[in-house]
A and B are shown apart, each in its own frame.
Chain A
């Protein structure tokens, strides 16, 4: 052994420590591990699509779930589904977040003696539940939303088999008033189906159909079709909105009549009277009406609704003159205690105008697939709970503790139930009080079927193995029943829930149906109907409102959070409200006059007080709100959930925003539905002030050629625009080319080009492609589906409220909202006022702003390290690895579409298991680099590779961006500008409407905007 002295030892220690420190500095090496046995359908790098159904609301849109290497990563609309036709709204897109939610229950949870939920084994949990159900007997109740058609049937069967007390269907936003109205007016117990696509006059009676109606994606598309100015140079259908608040739907109307809330029925009957006076309506209908219309002359209606008599008369004449008008009954926010009668008046108006049977379809009562939700039954259940009759309460597909008004006493009643079981997969207010949580699969993991309306049976299919130890609720119930043995087990069907769903489709070819996504048929119709004689007895009066206050409280569903179910999905919090552009927060909308009266300004916290409670939130004065109304969105104010609340994850913490439901009474309308428009409110200031997380603080475009509009008269002389029908996603045959016409619109010769730049250089002259877009502002409703789609497709980090307040949101596409041409006053020391919209003003323009991929891009020459460059196909490439973060490009971008990674969002903003849902085709950006819209270059690349493999060119419509793919109204069309026959070129070639944003800067954008068309107030 050699001499090993102290010095030698110290040297070796030094070398060893140095080596250890040096190697510890780098990240551990990670390897890509190939499949040992590769699943047959999985090719690494190639996505698979599975047809399924969206479960985020009751509309039941079809889905194509995009999976990569066995993981669902994005939801797109199913083009086969007649409801959404390939599009998908923002809420639907965000639904994937439930699967990868970091708060998810990873297995059954049982409450221990200390009162905390702790993990349990399934076997023990099931045994526990079986024992409780057995002993509970008639004291077992099921409370929940719509779990889907087969599940609903099975739950009913189970309730019967185990001898449970009953099942109560609870859906806070169920359209029960409309269904009741159909019973009243036509004696048909079914929810009428509205089809706007062939209407020429659409009147929405306070129905926010474009954002929170019965089927927003479908109605948005239908309305856009009816108003398609590409083919209808007269502007197509006219759209009138009646209601007290300038909602997103109102902003898309041609005319907005700001009627008092709850007086829609009076207006509808006054209009009906004009229609009848002009000779419309069959003789039998007229006689059925009896003297109903007598009390509803224009002047009486004018004083009741607060509208001008002339406007009412004009609208009545227009309805009488229209060929196929249609009227929509009030939406959720405006269902008063007299909601059924109000909806009935609207149906009467439809009948008299001849819309019933064409635009309004009545399915036979027997075909109605959904169980009727009944608020009165919920209240009865609460009474039973209070009296101690309920031993076991099973809660599924609902968060009643959040969405039921505290004045119903649900919280106290729940405390009296000895055993509460929740099937929620994500923690919510109700699970925080449950004794046992048996987490259900998320829709990405489960089987099921949904029947949003007669004729449609849409399948929910799992796209991967459940991430955690979860089980389908119906399987759990069946297991419990079978474990009880005897007659109970015998009464239950054989097989698993999956088999039961499959059995429900026994009448079809299962494999084909599964691939298709379901059975998509036309709804059956009852045939011609006439007014029931009962309508003569209708009592139409102003709404019954409780409380004393000066203001009517309008609690409206949030366009993104819906009834609050979206609040724990980070994208829906971060994407701003389409109208107010506020994210992550609650606010109280008051009119400017009201704000002045109570002495509050933007951000001052004001109190809304009703006899049922008091909430405090920052004030947002708006011009577009009646002076006698105060409006608060439903959806915030959760105390549980990492994103939904400020403090809580699984246990209640500090709420995020306020829950307006807390100040509402437990009102029920005459049809047992829930009455949301039910109370008056008092307002007062609190002396406090909060910063509001606005994503846009100026809505005046200062005539800078951003969101342009043209009067409809300007279109008359111009030829119609022809284009092939929508290609749809991933459909290689969708690109059938329309006729090329006129001089054409190559990007080499845009007629507005002022300066002699060589546009051929915008892309490599030899390149076959120059990617571009045509964005139609007349079709954009502002719904923000594209924004959510972009977030998910491109792995865009969520930055949270604090960073949004600092203006550091990362979205690559945003919807800018401008109020007409307008004028802004500068007020030193305060931000300019947020909303210049006036009551009744509908000149509001929603502008989707993406990277314009400029031919002469200001961002490119200023980058010192060529991190942003121009590629051969005309795209502004962004090389994250080269970027050193000087941010000069963002300064020099006039469209301000570049976003900077101020923090290491890569590592911090994707808590496990959210990272599993990242798109593997898109780099997750690190700290200190710039990022921006790439026109979904990864989708272009996939299309190019596919086409190259098949030795062909990319067909038009084969490749599209995530935003264009999701758009319900086809407002964004992506394509090759060097192909004269592509839809993007064809649709962009509309001289009266086409323009480039900020044209005066001569950046030569590849995005052609098509100006919004102002159609003006309706005329007969």
Chain B
């Protein structure tokens, strides 16, 4: 047999790219260029921390959970706090991709890829904490309902089973979402790469040629996935919140938990997007594509969800007082003025007070301030879960067994490991895949050319409507 031609026929048939097109391609793909020293340093740091944390986890499996700081009656602690934290982080991606997509908020296009990637990595990070937390990781598959020779079944009444479904569904959907959305961009990357990258992108691009039929199918797929993912944005964190709300622990057993947690999740998710995207934009020179306008919009979201979260805090206290239930009252009094008062006030100040600065447009447009606020929000949201879980458990109904919990070093190392794990994936991602959705941004760039003159960047993002979904 003769070897196939070196260049595929399809490639030969492709028209030459337009100049505008190639400018965007060049800018956006340059992110994926040869990494610098700083990148490698950061990546190696992350990999090392992940390995250290992994070793600590292996040690924990070997020794027992006793090496963590658990103290009767606090049976859930830093691991579950971190789990809920990462599940929360995972929410912005889907919100941006799915809900804003359905609302035709075109400004999302610049950030949706990175947000979706963060979603996937955050869910993967979070899911690990379920394993880290359980006492017998080697038996944790018992929680999966499948016909088995053990003759065992799971307890569908248990919120933890719901949780397992919620997290696995969310992980699957968000991975699909990320991947499907990325296919056209992968094709672009395929066309411009060599060597192993070429092989990788060729495989992942699924033979994308940019034909109108493919675009139609792609847009349909994205639309349907958006429809599927939209309820998940609300349901996943609702289910996570039911881990708490379905119990009878004072401070957990509250009807507001689902909306409270969802708002908190979006809040922390947007904050994380800001925390990550502000440096990425600066480092890779993406100012033209991710503009202050995007950041302002996200800041508005943060302000809105901060108000919801602050309102939830107030409601919790009000209901605790208004219910007249003594254990409930005591639990909340203890939250604010007991041994964990520092955590509580960090939570209130970071989540409900500091974001009020975003009422000012100047601050919304001032990226260093936004960055600081977003970091504070992330800290505050970790402490929110800490406060809810730890203070709730440490003083329940029987005062004879009230206790105090302090995190132990393995928990802190594994917490650091979770950030490194997330960071590691994100760093690999930005060098391997287009971090800004090229195709979608290009649509907008084309629109800009057609409808607006140069120098109206902000305008074009705002007025970029009229794009026909089914062209």
B356 at the interface (CB under 8 A from A): no
Q: How far is B404's CA from A696's CA once the two chains are assembled, in angstroms?
A: 11
CB-nearest residue of chain A relative to B398? A896
Q: Which residue of B lies closest to A861 (CB)?
A: B157
Within the complex, the shortest CB–CB distance from B129 to chain A, in Å, comes to 12
Q: A900 touching B75 by the CB < 8 A rule?
A: yes
B467 within 8 A of A: no
B73 lies within 8 A of chain A by Cβ? yes
Query: Which of B110-118, B229-237, B334-342, B409-417 forms part of the interface with chain A?
Result: B334-342
Q: Nearest chain A CB to B406's CB is how many angstroms away?
A: 10
Please indicate the chain A residues that have their CB under 8 angstroms from the CB of B401 in the complex: 696, 814, 816, 896
Q: B245-253, B369-377, B424-432: which one contacts chain A?
A: B245-253
Q: B136's contact among A808, A899, A928, by CB below 8 Å, is which?
A: A928
Range of interface residues on B (Cβ < 8 Å): 35 or more
* CB-nearest residue of chain A to B399: A698
Q: Which residue of B lies closest to A816 (CB)?
A: B400
Q: Tell whether, in the assembled complex, residue B75 and residue A863 are in contact, meaning their CB atoms are under 8 Å apart.
A: no
Are A892 and B327 interface neighbours, CB within 8 A?
no
A575 at the A/B interface (Cβ < 8 Å)? Answer: no
Q: Which of A103-111, A212-220, A699-707 contacts B (4 or more CB under 8 A)?
A: A699-707
A903 CA / B67 CA spacing, docked (Å): 8
| Contact among B136, B248, B341 for A892, CB-based, below 8 A | B248
Encode B143-154 as 1/0 by CB contact (under 8 A) with A.
Answer: 100000000111
A761 part of interface (Cβ distance < 8 Å) = no
A70 to B398, CA, bound (A): 42
Known: A865-B143, A885-B136, A900-B135. A696 touches B64 (CB 8 A): no
Shortest distance between the CB of A696 and any CB in chain B (Å): 5
CB contact between A829 and one of B134, B333, B339 (< 8 Å): that residue: B339
Complex CA gap A895/B75 in Å reads 14
**Interface range on chain A: under 10, 10 to 19, 20 to 34, or 35 or more?**
35 or more
B64 touches which of A697, A861, A904 (Cβ 8 Å): A904
Residue pairs across A and B with Cβ atoms less than 8 A apart, 14 shown, are A698-B400, A807-B72, A828-B338, A864-B155, A866-B152, A866-B155, A883-B136, A884-B142, A885-B135, A886-B135, A892-B249, A894-B397, A894-B398, A929-B135
CB distance from B9 to the nearest CB of A (A): 46
Provided the pairs A698-B402, A866-B153 are in contact, do residues A890 and B75 lie with their beta carbons within 8 angstroms?
yes
Q: Given contacts A861-B155, A891-B76, are A828 and B341 in contact (CB under 8 A)?
A: yes
In the complex, A866 Cα to B152 Cα: how many Å? 9
Q: Which residues of A contact B155 (CB under 8 A)?
A: 861, 863-866
B330 proximity list for chain A (CB < 8 A): 702
- Min CB–CB distance A783 → chain B (angstroms): 17
**B181 CB to closest chain A CB, in angstroms?**
33
Q: What distance in Å separates the Cβ of B151 from its nearest Cβ neighbour in chain A? A: 11
Closest to B248 in A: A858
* A702 to B133 CA separation, bound complex (whole angstroms): 33
Q: Are B66 and A803 in contact (CB under 8 A)?
A: yes
Given the complex, which residues of B lie within 8 Å of A929, measured CB to CB? 135-136
Residue of A nearest to B157 (CB): A861
Indicate if the CB atoms of B402 and A884 lie closer than 8 Å: no
List the interface of chain B (C-beta within 8 A of A).
63-66, 69-73, 75-76, 133-136, 139-140, 142-143, 152-155, 157-161, 164, 243, 246-249, 326-327, 330, 333-334, 337-339, 341, 393, 396-404
Which residues of chain A have a CB within 8 Å of any CB of chain B?
A: 696-704, 706, 803, 806-809, 814, 816-818, 824, 826, 828-831, 847, 849, 858, 861-866, 882-888, 890-892, 894-896, 899-904, 927-930, 998, 1001
Q: A704-B326, A928-B136, A1001-B397 are in contact. Are A862 and B247 (CB under 8 A)?
A: yes
- Cα–Cα distance between A703 and B399 once the two chains are bound (Å): 10
Selected from B71, B249, B326, B334, the residue in CB contact (under 8 A) with A703 is: B326
| Contacting pair A862 B160 (CB below 8 A) | yes
Q: A704-B327, A864-B164, A884-B140 are in contact. Are A891 and B247 (CB under 8 A)?
A: yes
Collect the chain A residues with CB atoms within 8 Å of residue B161's CB: 864
Residues of B contacting A699 with CB < 8 Å?
Answer: 399-400
Chain B residues closer than 8 Å to A899, beta-carbon distance: 72
Residues of B within 8 A of A864 (CB): 143, 154-155, 158, 160-161, 164
A895-B136 in contact given A902-B70, A903-B64 (Cβ < 8 Å)? no
Min Cβ gap B28→A in Å is 44
CA distance A900 to B206 in the complex (A): 50
Is the CB–CB distance between A887 and B136 below 8 Å? no
Residue pair B338, A886 in contact (C-beta under 8 Å): no
Q: Which residues of A contact B70 (CB under 8 A)?
A: 806, 808, 900, 902
Q: How many Å lie between the Cα of A866 and that of B157 in the bound state?
A: 10
CA distance A814 to B327 in the complex (A): 21
* Chain A residues, CB < 8 A from B247: 858, 862, 888, 891-892
Q: Would you give the shortest CB distance from A898 to chain B, in whole angstroms? A: 8
Instruction: Give the chain B neighbours of A809 by CB distance below 8 A.
Output: 72
Which of these, B66, B76, B339, contacts A828 with CB under 8 Å? B339
A862–B161 Cα distance when bound, in Å, is 9
Give the complex CA separation of A903 and B68 in angstroms: 11
By the criterion CB–CB under 8 Å, are B393 and A927 in contact?
no
C-alpha spacing A639/B418, complex, angstroms:
46
User: Given known contacts A865-B142, A890-B75, is B64 in contact with A706 (CB within 8 Å)?
Assistant: no
Separation of A696 and B142 alpha carbons in the complex (Å): 35
| A928 and B158 form a contact (CB under 8 A) | no
A896 touches B72 (CB 8 A): yes
- Which of B71, B75, B326, B338 is the one whose CB lies under 8 Å from A806? B71
Name B71's closest neighbour in chain A (CB-CB).
Answer: A807
Q: What is the CB-to-nearest-CB distance from A881 to chain B, in angstroms, rounded to a whole number?
A: 9
A494 shortest CB reach to chain B, Å:
58
Contact A890–B158 (Cβ < 8 Å): no
For B63, B69, B139, B337, the residue with the greatest tally of chain A CB atoms inside 10 Å of its CB is B139
3 closest Cβ pairs, A-B complex: A885-B135, A928-B135, A902-B66
List of A residues within 8 angstroms of B66 by Cβ: 803, 806, 808, 902-903
* Residue in B136, B246, B333, B404 whose beta carbon sits within 8 Å of that of A884 in the complex: B136
Assembled-state Cα–Cα distance A704/B333 (Å)? 16
- Nearest residue (CB) in A for B329 is A702
A864-B160, A896-B72 as given contacts; A807 in contact with B139, CB under 8 Å:
no
What A residues does B69 contact at CB under 8 A? 806
CA gap between A830 and B142 in the complex, in Å: 41
CB distance from B214 to the nearest CB of A (A): 43
CA distance A696 to B327 in the complex (A): 18
Q: Are B135 and A895 in contact (CB under 8 A)?
A: no
CA distance A698 to B334 in the complex (A): 14
Report the separation of the CA atoms of residues A896 and B157 in the bound assembly, to the nearest whole angstrom.
21
B contact residues around A858 at 8 Å (CB):
247-248
Write out the residue numbers on chain B whose beta carbons fall within 8 Å of the beta carbon of A896.
Answer: 72-73, 396-398, 401
The reply to whether B142 and A697 contact each other, CB–CB distance below 8 Å, is no
Inter-chain contact B334/A826, CB cutoff 8 Å: yes
Q: Are A696 and B135 in contact (CB under 8 A)?
A: no
State in angstroms the CA–CA spacing of A866 and B142 once bound together: 10
Of the candidates B152, B160, B327, B396, which one forms a contact with A888 in the assembled complex, judged by CB atoms under 8 Å apart? B160
Q: Give bound CA distance, A865 to B140, whole Å.
A: 9
Asked if B158 and A887 make an inter-chain contact with CB atoms under 8 angstroms apart, the answer reads no
**Which of B158, B161, B247 has the largest count of A CB atoms less than 10 A from its CB?**
B158
B206 to chain A, nearest CB (A): 37
**A817 and B397 alpha carbons, distance in the complex (Å):** 15
Bound Cα distance A884, B154 (Å): 12
Q: Bound complex: CA of A484 vs CA of B157, how far in Å?
A: 79
Give B70 Cβ to nearest chain A Cβ, in Å: 6
| Residue from A700, A818, A861, A884 whose CB has the most chain B CB atoms within 10 Å | A884
When the two chains form their complex, are residues B337 and A998 in contact, meaning their CB atoms are under 8 A apart?
no
Interface pair A891/B327, CB less than 8 Å apart = no
On whether the beta carbons of B135 and A700 are closer than 8 Å, the reply is no
Q: Which of B248, B326, B341 touches A894 (beta carbons < 8 Å)?
A: B248
A862 with B400: CB separation less than 8 A: no
Docked complex Cα distance between A807 and B403 (Å): 7
**Residues in B neighbouring A696, C-beta threshold 8 A:** 400-401
Contacts of B338 in A (CB 8 A): 826, 828
Q: Give chain A residues whose Cβ lies under 8 Å from the Cβ of B243.
A: 888
| Structural contact, B142 and A894, CB atoms closer than 8 A | no
